[in-house]
Amino acid sequence: MVDQQVDPIPSGSTSMVRIKIPSPFYLHPSENASSSLLPGVFDGTGYRSWRRAVLRALSVKSKTGFINGKVVKPNPDNPSFQQWERCDDMVTSWILNSLSPDLRDSLQYVNNAQELWDELEERYDQTNGCKLYQLQKEINDLVQGTLDVTGYYTKMKKLWEDMSIVDVSSQCSCVCTCGGKIRLVKAEQDRRIIYFLMGLNEMYTVIRGNILMISTLPSMAQVFAILSQEEKQREVRPHNHTALDSTSLNALASST
Domain boundary among 90, 125, 160: 125
Q: Would you say residue 12 lies in a domain?
A: no
Whether 119 and 138 map to the same domain: the answer is no
Quick one: 99 and 177 in the same domain?
Answer: no
Q: Can you tell me the distance from the alpha carbon of 138 to that of 150, in angstroms, rounded to the nearest whole number?
A: 18
Which residue type occupies 74?
A: P
The residue from 76, 95, 125 where one domain ends is: 125
Indicate whether 111 and 25 sit together in one domain: yes
Per-10-residue mean pLDDT of the chain, 256 residues long, equals 47 56 84 89 85 93 93 92 94 95 91 94 77 88 95 93 73 74 89 95 94 92 94 74 53 59
Kindly state whether residues 141 and 237 are assigned to the same domain: yes
CA nearest to 214, candidates 236, 197, 200, 199: 197
Cα 215 to Cα 249: distance, rounded to the nearest angstrom: 11
Note whether 159 and 111 are same-domain residues.
no
Q: Are 67 and 112 in contact (CB under 8 A)?
A: no
Amino acid at 254: S
The pLDDT score that the predictor gives to residue 140 is: 93
Which candidate, 77, 58, 37, places its Cα nearest to that of 85?
77
* Rounded Cα distance, 214 and 223, in Å: 11
| pLDDT at residue number 2 | 44
Show the domain range for 145.
128-255
- Report the 10 Å Cβ neighbour count for 120: 21
Decide which of 106, 125, 144 is a domain's last residue.
Answer: 125
Q: Please tell me whether residue 80 adopts helix, strand or coil conformation.
A: coil
Q: How far apart are the first and last CA of the chain?
A: 55
Task: Note the pLDDT of residue 125.
Answer: 77
Is residue 220 included in any domain, yes or no? Answer: yes
Helix axes 149-166, 180-198, angle to 10 degrees: 140
What integer pLDDT is reported at residue 66 of this predicted model? Answer: 95
Count CA within 13 A, CB hemisphere, residue 42. Answer: 26
DSSP H stretches of helix in the chain: 47-60, 65-68, 81-97, 101-106, 113-124, 128-141, 149-166, 180-198, 205-212, 220-236, 246-255
Report the pLDDT value the prediction gives residue 4, as an integer from 0 to 100.
45
pTM, rounded to two decimals = 0.56
In this structure, the answer to whether residues 90 and 173 fall within a common structural domain is no
Statement to judge: residues 109 and 216 lie in one domain: no
* Per-residue model confidence (pLDDT) at position 170: 65
Q: What is the CA radius of gyration of the chain?
A: 25
The number of folded domains in the chain is 2
Q: Give the model's pLDDT for residue 238.
A: 54
